[in-house]
């Protein structure tokens, strides 16, 4: 089977294929069993059938189908494997795996794991112990020896780290473990990058007991890394490097990302053929550059292709120097005032602590500003002068403004861009016939070339430059008559700039023009920062906490648990405790990058090894077991065979002939499918406790009564409302539900249109909360019928109220009771169902109090007063419930006073009217328009 | 896959007792059903509707010279000046022979049919027996009873059938005389030549036969499909068809041709031929038979009712 990437786990089973001809012979002999049918007119059928030849054997295609089926089953039992992997050459009493999991291993880490898995699986089959060590892990990580299962667990738990390898330490540990195991296999799964101490590391690793070596490095080192990113004048200069083995020309795109990971700029870097370095510039505006948080090479999924940036690449620090103490009373005359206002939006301004130049200049230089602005500083103390010159030579930008001191101090070739004439020039003064000069266009060669020339700036005094051969190229701005106004000179890596006017508005109007800001800003952009922001070093330096780390795949992630705070100083090594990334906090960060500008990617050289070496490639295990597929194919064939047998047996034709049966079968299939596919729709149970009671309460209109706590009162109330219900059912269309006794402190009241409340002084006073609920109920449209039932029990003396009335007053004192009045003769309550002049109960004579109607005048022509809404409160003393109350047989429970049968009828009618009033409101008062409406309709 | 047709009450050769029990269980029900069916056609069966020798009054008619004087009805003639003769209705009894095919092929009943062919045949025969008995006709069963007249003719026939010996042979028809009617209920699946040979003597003797063909719907429509093995219930012969649905058209043509041939042969002899399917009501055939028996010489055509 060498021509096929196929092997069998149990090749002996394939001998079973010999049985195929036998199966074929058997299959040929046994046609499918026919359907047996009794058929009386056989003689007639025999005459027809004699003409057709009956197949005595199976059709050839069915036999073929079954043979293939048998062959598939036999092949599946033989356990075939597609693309079988070759066994890796490990032997000996132990296997030691040393795996590089540094940043360069991240892109194809899965392949490395797969390779290592194969090695471990082979070792596991042989039962030898496995030592597994990762070169970028902590030096004290557990390395074994393990059995194969534990080793695989360790392997799967490992992940690439965004840090370099530490081969010497790890290899030494492995060698130490190996010392007790003679004849061990050592598998080196390297990332292909050389590191410091490789030679010694390999020597120590292979010195002990290594019987053979499995050597795996990537086929090619195609990692591109970003070695440097510098914020230059006109953009970010990027430097990418690659390994020397990679010689093809290559183009790569770098992207810059802000703090939130948004891509805000691009640059293209080109590797020439054979070159290991590519540079490119990200030409974006200065403001945008300040938003850069990280720069990454596209398509490189490893930590080396990402650089994080901190403040040192962003805002420039500008030192300000002046010898005139700022007069706080006259800030506009301070020389630094305009500079400060112009620079503060886009630069960090540093002020020295004192005016003494000898101290303040070193103080400023210590903080490594990108630029120092000197406003009219004439003489610089000699002890600091050299420091300043060195600073400029190393890249500092010194901006000086003229003034009387500078003019008096004379020339300074090293710290002035041009040679100055002594003294100053005055234009437009009393003794001069010239006029103040405006600025001309900025020279094309200078850095201000693309700025708009200020039209309104005039210069009345300036210091003059000595003309020289190079004065033109040093001139960045000049006046209309050609004399230089701003001159600049590159000195060393740095720059010297001189404004020939003062920094305040005495000599010219330049400092108060917009161009001044533009010019200063351009100079700031030209400057470059001179180092990290933090200058504290030594024991007092504070360590910065990890803030955003570069993960092994190049993503910026929150710090892992093993990241430690970092002392912010350049040159700190990248270790597992200080992985690359940003340290600090949101307010200020320090960038800790994996590589620096001097980094190179050297390929790892295979050391001279005295023992046999096998080189393997990183690759995935591509073997596939075909057993499942073959069995699945066999099952499909089996289904086909079943269908074919059905077809031969005539089931299909029978279904066709009997469409009902076919439709039934189809419907059954569809139902089964639907049953299988459709998940049982879960029905959310949204019921809440008390739902049943609420549904019961609102199912029918129910009249409620207050459970006073006195059993006698409650039973009378209930019986009374039952009596009223019966009367309502007899006389009206209303079919009320059974009376509802409510506890006003607990029960929901809003279900009931009317609550009957018999006042009994013996009952406990309802709580404030209960009264508040009643108040809310009344405000929301409910009505409470208070019944004091004391019409004849009040004392003769009018001034004293009965106890029930007193209790009612107590209750009403806590309620928002509207103004009340006895039911007037034209109130709608007198007409809602029956026409009633009064509302007697068991007693008679007490008026029924309702909410006072707003307006009674102007409605003489109307029999009923208009008015909206329903009175929220009804008060009577007539004991309605006593008059309504009936027993189970329908007989009255209590006698009326006086004992008049009609009074009970009137009481019930009053109840009907009240109930109709509850349910229909002022409907009856609208009915008074009916005569007018009918008249208009021509009736 | 359920069979389309099966033998309803499978008969084991020699088990006369079991067969008798089967009959006994079957006959009372059949009697009831036969009576029910008869009730639908009983009207108009009595009487010959013409004068003749009988017991019931038919008409008075004027005396004609030359008639026997003793036929004058003096009681009627005394009422007026004319002389009347009293005619009686002709009520001559008629012999009808009944026979239902007892062969095993009659036991067949397909899924679509309401009853087996044998059941249907017995129902029909007993219904006819009931009808004829009520009408006072003489009924008989070849090889079983001689002609007799009885009110409970159907019961007696049934009782005889229960105790009849097992016989698949065709009955001897030599006892049937001229002017007798013969009702033959069978599936007539034998080759038509055999049937013709059997009935030809009858035709030559001047008897009149009414052939009722009981057909199962499965026999006529041939709903079989696929590989099917067919068994003849009489001979046990087997035939295997590879694709039965292909045979359907040819088979149906032959089946219908056989029926047409039988019907034409009957028509030529002035006999009636009636087809009854077991998925149709038995009363259809009974009504047709009634018409055929009562029609004087006019024959209904066999139809695929």
Q: For the CA atoms of chain B, what is the radius of gyration?
A: 23
The residue in chain B having the minimum alpha-carbon distance to the alpha carbon of residue A36 is B229
DSSP state of A303: G
Of A37, A44, A49, the CB nearest to B4: A37
Query: Hey, which of A826-835, A879-888, A919-928 has the most confident mean pLDDT?
Result: A879-888
**pLDDT interval class at B261 (50, 70, 90):** very high
| Chain A residues with beta carbon closer than 8 angstroms to that of B186 | none
| Chain A residues with beta carbon closer than 8 angstroms to that of B1 | 35, 649, 651, 654
pLDDT at A314 (0 to 100): 65
pLDDT at B300 (0 to 100): 36
Q: Are the CB atoms for A40 and B237 separated by under 8 Å?
A: no
Distance from CA of A24 to the nearest CA of B (A): 21
Of A35, A39, A40, the CB nearest to B187: A40
Q: Which of A20-24, A90-94, A581-585, B86-90 has the lowest mean pLDDT?
A: A90-94
pLDDT at B25 (0 to 100): 46
pLDDT at A855 (0 to 100): 60
The residue in chain A having the minimum alpha-carbon distance to the alpha carbon of residue B220 is A41
pLDDT at A705 (0 to 100): 92
Main-chain phi, psi angles of A374, to 5 degrees: -115, 115
How many CB pairs below 8 A link A and B? 121
Report yes or no for ipTM above 0.85. no
Q: At residue A852, does pLDDT exceed 90?
A: no
Q: At residue A293, does pLDDT exceed 50?
A: yes
Partnered with residue A238 across adjacent β-strands are A229, A280
- pLDDT tens-digit map of A514-561: 888 888 888 887 776 655 444 444 444 577 888 888 888 888 888 888
| CA–CA separation, A379 and A912 (whole Å) | 112
| Chain B residues with beta carbon closer than 8 angstroms to that of A651 | 1, 226
Q: Are the CB atoms for A221 and A243 separated by under 8 Å?
A: yes
Instruction: Count other Cβ atoms within 10 Å, centred on residue A204.
Output: 18
Query: Hey, which of A711-725, A819-833, B117-131, B152-166 has the most confident mean pLDDT?
Result: A711-725
Three-state DSSP state, A685 = coil
- pLDDT tens-digit map of A768-794: 888 888 888 888 788 899 998 887 775
Token output for A373: 């602005």
| Chain A residues with beta carbon closer than 8 angstroms to that of B10 | none
pLDDT at B116 (0 to 100): 83
| Chain A residues with beta carbon closer than 8 angstroms to that of B246 | 52
The residue in chain B having the minimum alpha-carbon distance to the alpha carbon of residue A58 is B242
Q: Give chain A's mean pLDDT.
A: 80
pLDDT at B19 (0 to 100): 43
Interface test with B, best of A33, A36, A40 (most B CBs within 10 A): A40
The residue in chain B having the minimum alpha-carbon distance to the alpha carbon of residue A644 is B226
In terms of DSSP H, where are the helices of A579-680? Answer: 627-648, 651-657, 659-677
Q: At residue B163, does pLDDT exceed 90?
A: no
- pLDDT tens-digit map of B42-99: 443 445 566 666 667 888 889 988 888 888 889 989 998 899 998 877 665 677 888 8
Q: At residue A135, does pLDDT exceed 60?
A: yes
pLDDT at B22 (0 to 100): 46
pLDDT at B23 (0 to 100): 44
The residue length of chain A stands at 939
In terms of DSSP H, where are the helices of chain B? Answer: 16-39, 74-77, 117-134, 153-162, 192-205, 217-221, 244-268, 282-294
pLDDT at A538 (0 to 100): 41
Q: Are the CB atoms for B5 and B111 separated by under 8 Å?
A: yes
The residue in chain B having the minimum alpha-carbon distance to the alpha carbon of residue A657 is B223
Q: B276, B166, B298: which is closest to B220 by C-alpha?
A: B276
pLDDT at B263 (0 to 100): 92
| Chain A residues with beta carbon closer than 8 angstroms to that of B226 | 34-35, 647-651, 653-654
pLDDT at A635 (0 to 100): 92
Domain annotation for chain A: domains and CATH numbers = 94-221+603-622 (3.40.50.410), 225-310+537-601 (no CATH), 313-526 (3.40.50.880), 698-929 (3.40.50.12140)
Q: In which order are the strands placed within the sheet that holds A556-557? A: A556-557, A546-550, A581-584, A589-592
Q: A795, A808, A790: which is closest to A882 by C-alpha?
A: A790
Q: Are the CB atoms for B148 and B156 separated by under 8 Å?
A: yes
pLDDT at B129 (0 to 100): 82
Partnered with residue A850 across adjacent β-strands are A821
Q: What would the mean pLDDT of B275-287 be, rounded to a whole number? A: 83
> pTM for this structure?
0.43
In terms of DSSP H, where are the helices of A444-506? Answer: 471-474
Q: A810, A811, A804, A806: which is closest to A790 by C-alpha?
A: A804
- pLDDT tens-digit map of A573-613: 888 888 888 888 776 778 888 887 777 788 887 777 777 78
Of B7, B191, B244, the CB nearest to A38: B7
Q: Give chain B's mean pLDDT.
A: 76
Three-state DSSP state, A786 = strand
Of A289 and B302, more confident? A289
Of A715 and A384, more confident? A715
Domain annotation for chain B: domains and CATH numbers = 14-46+92-294 (3.40.50), 57-88 (no CATH)
- pLDDT tens-digit map of A662-711: 556 666 777 676 656 555 555 666 777 778 878 887 888 889 999 988 88
Enclosing H/E stretch for A768:
helix A768-779
The residue in chain B having the minimum alpha-carbon distance to the alpha carbon of residue A45 is B251
Q: What would the mean pLDDT of B190-210 be, rounded to a whole number? A: 85
Task: Classify residue B219 as exposed, middle or buried by CB count within 10 Å of its CB (0-12, 13-18, 19+).
Answer: buried
Of A38, A53, A654, the CB nearest to B226: A654
Q: At residue B264, does pLDDT exceed 90?
A: yes
pLDDT at A720 (0 to 100): 92
**pLDDT interval class at B14 (50, 70, 90):** very low
| Chain A residues with beta carbon closer than 8 angstroms to that of B234 | 40
Q: What would the mean pLDDT of A351-365 be, rounded to a whole number? A: 78
Q: At residue A304, does pLDDT exceed 90?
A: no
């Amino acid at each position: 089977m060498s021509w096929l990437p196929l092997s069998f786990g149990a090749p002996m089973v394939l001998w079973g294929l010999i049985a195929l001809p036998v199966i074929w012979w058997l299959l040929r002999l046994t046609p499918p069993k026919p359907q047996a049918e009794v058929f009386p007119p056989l003689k007639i059928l025999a005459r027809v059938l004699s003409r057709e030849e009956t197949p005595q054997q199976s059709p050839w295609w069915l036999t073929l189908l079954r043979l293939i089926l048998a062959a598939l089953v036999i092949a599946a039992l033989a356990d075939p494997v597609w693309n079988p992997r070759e066994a890796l050459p490990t032997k000996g009493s132990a296997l030691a795996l040393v795996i590089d999991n540094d940043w360069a291993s991240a892109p194809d880490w899965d392949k490395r794991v797969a390779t290592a898995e194969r090695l471990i699986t082979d070792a596991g089959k042989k039962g030898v112990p496995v030592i597994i060590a990762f070169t970028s892990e902590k030096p004290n990580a557990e390395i074994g020896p393990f059995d194969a299962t534990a080793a695989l667990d360790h392997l799967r738990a490992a992940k690439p780290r965004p840090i370099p390898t530490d081969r010497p330490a790890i290899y030494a540990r492995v060698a130490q473990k190996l010392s007790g195991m003679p004849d061990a296999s050592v598998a080196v799964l390297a990332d292909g990058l050389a590191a410091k101490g490789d030679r010694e590391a390999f020597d120590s690793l292979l010195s002990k007991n290594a019987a053979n070596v499995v050597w795996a490095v990537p086929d090619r080192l195609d990692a591109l890394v970003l070695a440097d990113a510098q914020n230059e004048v006109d953009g970010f200069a990027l430097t990418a490097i690659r390994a020397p083995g990679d010689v093809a020309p290559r183009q790569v795109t770098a992207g810059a990302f802000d703090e939130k990971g948004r891509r805000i700029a691009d640059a293209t870097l080109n590797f020439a053929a054979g070159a290991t370095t590519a540079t490119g510039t990200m030409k974006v505006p200065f403001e945008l550059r300040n938003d850069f948080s990280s720069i990454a090479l596209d398509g490189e999924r490893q930590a080396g292709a990402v650089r994080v940036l901190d403040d040192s690449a962003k805002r420039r620090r500008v030192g300000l120097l002046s010898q005139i103490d700022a007069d706080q009373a006259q800030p506009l005359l301070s020389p630094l005032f305009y500079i400060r206002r112009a620079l503060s939006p886009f630069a960090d301004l540093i002020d020295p602590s004192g005016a003494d130049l000898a101290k303040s200049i070193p103080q400023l230089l210590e903080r490594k500003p990108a630029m120092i602005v000197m406003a009219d500083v004439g003489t610089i103390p000699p002890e600091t002068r050299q420091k300043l010159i060195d600073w400029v030579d190393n890249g500092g930008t010194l901006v000086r403004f003229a003034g009387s001191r500078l003019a008096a101090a004379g020339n300074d070739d090293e710290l002035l861009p041009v040679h100055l004439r002594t003294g100053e020039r005055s234009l437009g003064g009393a003794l001069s016939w010239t006029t103040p000069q405006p600025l001309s266009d900025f020279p094309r060669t200078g850095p201000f070339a693309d700025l708009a020339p200020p039209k309104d700036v005039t210069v009345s005094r300036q210091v003059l430059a000595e003309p020289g051969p190079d004065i033109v190229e040093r001139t960045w701005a000049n006046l209309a008559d050609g004399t230089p106004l701003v001159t600049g000179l590159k000195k060393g890596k740095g720059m010297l700039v001189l404004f020939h006017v003062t920094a305040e508005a005495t000599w010219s109007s330049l400092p108060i023009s917009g161009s001044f800001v533009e010019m200063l800003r351009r100079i700031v952009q030209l400057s470059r920062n001179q180092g990290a922001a933090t200058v504290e070093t030594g024991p007092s330096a504070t360590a910065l906490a990890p803030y955003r780390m570069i993960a092994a795949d190049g993503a910026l992630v929150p710090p892992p648990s093993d990241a430690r705070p970092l002392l912010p100083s350049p040159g700190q090594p990248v270790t597992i405790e200080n992985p690359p990334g940003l340290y600090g906090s949101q307010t200020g960060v320090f960038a800790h990058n994996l590589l620096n500008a001097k980094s190179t990617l050297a390929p790892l050289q295979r050391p001279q090894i005295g023992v046999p070496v096998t080189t393997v490639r990183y690759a995935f295990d591509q073997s596939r077991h075909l057993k499942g597929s073959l069995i699945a194919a066999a099952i499909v064939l089996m289904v086909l065979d079943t269908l074919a047998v059905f077809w031969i047996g005539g089931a299909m034709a029978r279904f066709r002939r009997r469409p009902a049966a076919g439709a039934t079968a189809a419907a059954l299939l569809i139902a089964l499918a639907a049953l299988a596919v459709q998940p049982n729709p879960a029905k959310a149970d949204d019921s809440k406790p008390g739902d049943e009671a609420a549904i019961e309460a609102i199912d029918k209109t129910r009249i409620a009564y207050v459970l006073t706590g006195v059993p006698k009162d409650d039973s009378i109330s209930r019986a009374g409302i039952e009596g009223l219900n019966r009367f309502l059912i007899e006389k009206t269309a209303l079919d009320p539900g059974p009376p509802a006794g409510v506890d006003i402190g607990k029960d929901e009241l809003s279900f009931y249109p009317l609550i009957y409340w018999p006042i009994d002084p013996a009952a406990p006073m309802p709580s404030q909360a209960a009264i508040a609920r009643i108040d809310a109920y009344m405000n929301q449209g409910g009505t409470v019928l208070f019944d004091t039932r004391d019409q004849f029990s009040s004392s003769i003396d009018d001034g004293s109220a009965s106890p029930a009335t007193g209790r009612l007053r107590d209750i009403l004192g806590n309620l928002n009771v509207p103004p009340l009045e006895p039911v007037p003769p034209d109130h709608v309550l007198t007409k809602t169902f029956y026409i009633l002049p009064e509302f007697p109960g068991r007693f008679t004579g007490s008026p029924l109090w309702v909410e006072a109607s707003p307006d009674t005048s102007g409605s003489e022509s109307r029999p009923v007063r208009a008015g909206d809404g329903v009175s929220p409160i009804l008060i009577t003393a007539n004991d309605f419930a006593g008059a309504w109350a009936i027993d189970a047989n329908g007989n009255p429970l209590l006698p009326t006073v006086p004992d008049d049968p009609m009074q009970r009828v009137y009481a019930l009618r009053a109840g009907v009217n009240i109930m109709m009033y509850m349910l229909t409101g002022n409907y009856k008062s609208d009915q008074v328009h009916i005569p007018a409406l009918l008249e208009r309709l021509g009736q | 896959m359920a069979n389309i047709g099966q033998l309803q009450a499978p008969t084991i050769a020699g088990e006369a007792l079991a067969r008798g029990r089967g009959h006994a269980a079957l006959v009372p029900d059949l009697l009831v059903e036969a009576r029910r069916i008869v009730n639908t056609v009983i009207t108009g069966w009595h009487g010959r509707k013409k004068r003749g020798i009988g017991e019931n009054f038919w008409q008075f008619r004027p005396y004609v010279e030359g008639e026997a004087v003793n036929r004058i009805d003096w009681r009627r003639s005394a009422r007026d000046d004319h002389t009347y003769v009293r005619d009686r209705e002709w009520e001559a009894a008629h012999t009808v022979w009944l026979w239902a095919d007892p062969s095993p092929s009659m036991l067949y009943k397909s899924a679509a049919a309401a009853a087996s062919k044998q059941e249907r045949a017995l129902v029909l025969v007993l219904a006819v027996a009931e009808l004829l008995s009520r009408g006072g006709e003489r009924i008989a069963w070849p090889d079983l009873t001689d002609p007799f007249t009885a009110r409970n003719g159907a019961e007696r026939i049934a009782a005889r059938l229960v105790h009849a010996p097992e016989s698949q042979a065709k009955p001897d028809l030599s006892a049937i005389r001229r002017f007798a009617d013969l009702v033959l209920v069978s599936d007539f699946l034998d080759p038509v030549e055999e049937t013709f040979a059997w009935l030809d003597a009858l035709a030559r003797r001047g008897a009149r036969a009414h052939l009722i063909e009981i057909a199962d719907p499965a026999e006529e429509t041939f709903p079989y499909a696929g590989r099917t093995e067919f068994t003849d219930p009489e001979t046990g012969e087997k035939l295997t068809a590879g694709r039965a649905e292909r045979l359907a058209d040819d088979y149906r043509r032959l089946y219908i041709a056989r029926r047409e041939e039988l019907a034409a042969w009957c028509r030529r002899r002035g006999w009636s031929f009636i087809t009854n399917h077991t998925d149709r009501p038995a009363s259809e055939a009974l009504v047709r038979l009634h018409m055929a028996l009562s029609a004087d010489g006019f024959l209904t055509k066999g139809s695929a009712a």
